[in-house]
């Protein structure tokens, strides 16, 4: 089976990492960072340095460097790369792809099924998200500074003019370019401000920090490599405007495109519904059927029921689910369980027969309410006394067989499970389950 690689592209602040983290958390995908691959080529500097290195690597390798990094990660972890859960994952998220050459390199790699998702957002929203991200990073990695010790943030190198050559021709040139560029001091390149002397030191520090952040974003946003990212939207299988779509909705749209929720019409749920008779015990039937199911629960039981996400994961994997109801209504059971009616495969109606005293009207009403596909019958009274030793349907007495036939006509469903007596420890199965 091929490994699905989701190549995420998009401009700064479009929500690429948020999407990748959501897929990793929700579906156990392996999250790979293109920045990690760049560091192996010496890309430890600023974002602009990584942009220039990306362009150089694309020229030198024809965009293959990203695919090579993904394949190396897969080889290092075996045929199924472990996700954050520790289990092998067949879903890989590449955060992020920034050129057509990189996408071509991924698509040309054997054993990879590539789905390209492009996230788009307007420039003002990009700037706002980038500033918020930087602010969070500052609070996480730096100690709060008081007014006395606060220092201006050193701004990054300003963008070069159009006449200057900004693209190194080799990876080595990119590294040398990053190493030789001197850092500006806070006084270099600063515009004179007649009001600066009148500002308090805290305000001057904050203003310098704001200007630096704005300059850094504008320099990065104006780089040719960043501008070229917008053109990737025309190559993507799915394009999402994250300015109009919240993160949880982005995750749902991408997961649906990848088929991670399973087939909506696949019927994987079976219900056990007790009939309207006193003394109906569904536990023996549940215990006998339990090995056939990956998920078993009772919506109104003492144990916590599976969450919506856990059920969706089970459906996506094709796992069968058994739900034991405490009430006599199948519709009420699936509503309490949070399961769509289209997921239900079988409804087993559990009945207790007392022979001549059987409640035929109650059976008809229960059948009309629940539309059972199967009946689970427990014999009691005279029928139990004469059939308690039966181990097959053909060992039943004529009276018991006639009784079962009439039950099936009234309920409109076959008797698939039979307990010869209330004390029976094993139910007779009429057909394979």
pLDDT band at residue 396 under the 50/70/90 scheme: very high
Query: In what side-by-side order are the strands of the sheet with 321-324?
Result: 295-297, 321-324, 269-274, 344-353, 374-379, 415-419, 428-429
Task: Give residue-wise pLDDT tens across range 409-431.
Answer: 999 999 999 999 998 888 999 98
Q: Whole-model pTM?
A: 0.62
Q: Which residues pair with 344 in a beta bridge?
A: 269
Q: What pLDDT is recorded for position 359?
A: 87
More confident residue, 217 or 190: 217
Q: What pLDDT is recorded for position 421?
A: 92
Instruction: Answer for the pair 106, 61: CB distance below 8 angstroms, yes or no.
Output: no
Q: What pLDDT is recorded for position 162?
A: 38
Q: What pLDDT is recorded for position 68?
A: 96
Reading the block at residue 37, the tokens are 């691959």
- Give the DSSP per-residue string, 136-147: HHHHHHSPPPPT
Indicate the domain borders of the chain: 3-125+228-257, 131-224, 269-429
Please give the mean pLDDT across all residues of the chain.
80
Mean pLDDT of 25-53: 88
Q: For a pLDDT cut of 90, what percent of the chain falls above it?
A: 55
Reading the block at residue 421, the tokens are 């007596």
Is the confidence at residue 185, as pLDDT, over 80?
A: no
Q: Which residues pair with 88 in a beta bridge?
A: 82
- 3-125+228-257 and 269-429 share one CATH topology? yes
- Ramachandran region, residue 62 (left: φ > 0; alpha: ψ -120 to 50; beta: rest): left
269-429: CATH architecture? 3-Layer(aba) Sandwich (3.40)
Distance CA 311, CA 316 (A): 9
More confident residue, 168 or 117: 117
- Tokens 């394009």 label which residue? 239
Given this structure, which CATH class describes domain 3-125+228-257?
alpha beta
Q: Which residues pair with 120 in a beta bridge?
A: 241
Distance CA 197, CA 25 (A): 50
Q: What pLDDT is recorded for position 390?
A: 94
Is the confidence at residue 174, as pLDDT, over 80?
A: no
Dihedral angle of Cα 213, 219, 223, 225, to the nearest 10 degrees: -20
Is the confidence at residue 93, as pLDDT, over 70?
A: yes
Is the confidence at residue 158, as pLDDT, over 60?
A: no
pLDDT band at residue 132 under the 50/70/90 scheme: low
Instruction: Answer for the pair 201, 152: CB distance below 8 angstroms, yes or no.
Output: no
pLDDT band at residue 289 under the 50/70/90 scheme: very high
Q: What pLDDT is recorded for position 47?
A: 80
Of the listed ranges 126-140, 327-341, 381-395, the one predicted with least confidence: 126-140
Nearest partner of 297 among 331, 263, 267, 326, judged by Cα: 326
Mean pLDDT of 56-70: 95
Instruction: Answer for the pair 25, 84: CB distance below 8 angstroms, yes or no.
Output: yes
Mean pLDDT of 365-379: 95
């Amino acid at each position: 089976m091929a490994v699905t690689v989701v190549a995420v592209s998009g401009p700064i602040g479009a929500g690429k990492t948020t999407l990748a983290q959501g897929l990793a958390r929700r579906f156990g995908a392996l999250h790979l960072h293109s920045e990690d691959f760049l560091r192996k080529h010496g890309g430890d500097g600023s974002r602009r340095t990584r942009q220039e290195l990306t362009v150089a690597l694309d020229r030198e390798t024809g965009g293959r460097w990203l695919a090579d990094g993904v394949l190396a990660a897969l080889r290092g972890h075996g045929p199924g790369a472990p996700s954050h859960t520790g289990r092998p994952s067949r879903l890989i998220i590449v955060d992020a792809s920034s050129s057509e050459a990189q996408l071509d390199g991924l698509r040309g790699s054997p054993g990879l099924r590539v789905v390209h998702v492009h996230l788009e957002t307007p420039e003002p929203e990009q700037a706002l998200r980038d500033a918020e991200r930087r602010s969070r990073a500052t609070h996480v990695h730096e100690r709060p500074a008081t007014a006395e010790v606060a220092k201006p943030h050193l701004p990054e190198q300003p963008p070069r003019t159009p006449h200057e050559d900004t693209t190194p021709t080799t990876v080595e040139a990119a590294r040398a370019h990053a190493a030789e560029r001197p850092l500006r001091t806070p006084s270099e390149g600063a515009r004179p401000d007649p009001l600066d002397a009148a500002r308090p030191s805290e305000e001057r520090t904050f203003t310098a920090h704001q200007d630096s952040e704005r300059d850094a974003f504008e320099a990065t946003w104006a780089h040719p490599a960043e501008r070229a990212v917008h053109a990737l939207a025309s190559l993507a299988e799915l394009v999402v405007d994250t300015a109009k779509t919240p993160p949880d909705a982005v995750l749902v749209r991408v997961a649906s495109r990848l088929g991670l929720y399973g087939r909506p019409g696949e019927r994987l749920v079976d219900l056990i519904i007790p009939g309207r008779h006193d003394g109906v015990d569904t536990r023996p039937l549940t215990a006998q059927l339990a090995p056939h199911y990956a998920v078993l629960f009772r919506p109104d039981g003492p144990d916590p029921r599976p969450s919506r996400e856990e059920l969706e994961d089970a459906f996506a994997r094709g796992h069968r689910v058994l739900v034991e109801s405490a009430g006599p209504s199948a519709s009420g059971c699936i509503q309490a369980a949070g399961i769509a009616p289209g997921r239900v495969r079988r409804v087993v109606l559990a009945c207790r027969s007392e022979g001549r005293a059987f409640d035929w009207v109650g059976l008809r009403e229960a059948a009309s309410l629940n539309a059972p596909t199967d009946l689970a019958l427990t014999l009691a009274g005279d029928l139990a006394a004469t059939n308690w030793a039966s181990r097959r349907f053909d060992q039943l007495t004529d009276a018991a067989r006639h009784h079962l036939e009439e039950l099936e006509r009234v309920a409109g469903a076959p008797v698939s499970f039979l307990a010869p007596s209330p004390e029976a420890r094993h139910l007779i199965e009429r057909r394979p389950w």
